[in-house]
Amino acid sequence: MGADGGTIPKRCELVKKKKKEEKVEREVANAAKWKNCQLTNEPLKKPVVSCRYGRLFNKESILEAMLEKKVTQNETTKHIKGRSDFKELKLTDNKDYNDGPDRGMVYKDHNDTPWVCPVTALPMNGINVFKVNWICGCVVSEKAMVESKADRCLGCDGALEAEKIVQLYPPEELLDSYKRRHTEEIAAKKAKKSEKAKSKESQLEAISSEEQEVPEESADLLAFKMPGGTRTTTTLRMKPSATAGITEINERKRKLFLSKGSIQDDPKVSNAVKSMFTTSEEAKKQKTAHWVTHNPLYF
């Protein structure tokens, strides 16, 4: 069938073979991760942040997703709950980087990146391992950290702790350890918060148990003089406070209140001042209400 023009079909053309899996080139895969935001797939631009799992994002994209409450909807950002779950990175610019399109016969190295290691000048393209100091946010290559054996940050000379170092785009085993550590930190914070709440409850219970009611025999009778001249008595029950300072203040207030009485009985106060109060004789004889209770339009 066919074979027009003297062509002879071969067996390889007639028998179907299993298709080979398409392999993504390493350069293309690295460029997608190290040059683009993992949330929006847009090109990375400063300020750049990293999560606790070593993924890179644009800070603006993360903040917008947090404000719109869409962070948990994405698989790569569902572990981000607040600002403490990501760190702004201090990146060193690559002066030789050219971010232009491919033109004609001009060769463009796709392994070249906009950021490099501040010590070794290695490009941050996924071929070399880079790590973040979570304390300050400096990004340095693993090669520089191993060769220098420094106990201070190579980027800013700040503090450096082994537990606070996060590798960018770590392998699966290291990523699992980061996830376990993050889960343990969350559990420790919750336990600390619950202990604090329990201690506060126990303190409140201790204070309430110390408070006791005063017996009826020791109740203080306070006399109040009414405008009509009649005197009424009321019982004031006072409970001892948990602290001596509050008790002393309350006692002072009580004595001050008992010692003052009515301002009309105070000989040191002038008649002009006494006439300002409704308890004065002039105020009782007035047919209209006190000026304070008048409508402002009355005047």
Q: What are the pLDDT digits (tens) for 27-83?
A: 667 777 888 999 998 999 989 999 999 999 999 999 999 999 888 888 888 889 888
Average pLDDT over residues 10-17: 67
CB 99 within 8 A of CB 114: yes
Q: Name residue 86's beta-bridge partners.
A: 51
What is residue 138's predicted lDDT score, i.e. its pLDDT? 93
Domain ranges of the chain: 22-96+108-186, 216-298
Total-model pTM? 0.57
Alpha carbons 247 and 251: distance in angstroms, whole number: 6
Average pLDDT over residues 254-282: 75
Q: Which run of H or of E encompasses 31? A: helix 26-34
Within the chain, residue ranges assigned H as helices are 11-14, 26-34, 59-67, 142-148, 172-210, 244-260, 271-274, 281-285
Within 53-170, residue ranges assigned H as helices are 59-67, 142-148
Residue, of 104 and 126, whose pLDDT is higher: 126
Alpha carbons 296 and 289: distance in angstroms, whole number: 13
The pair of structure tokens assigned to 252 is: 């002072």
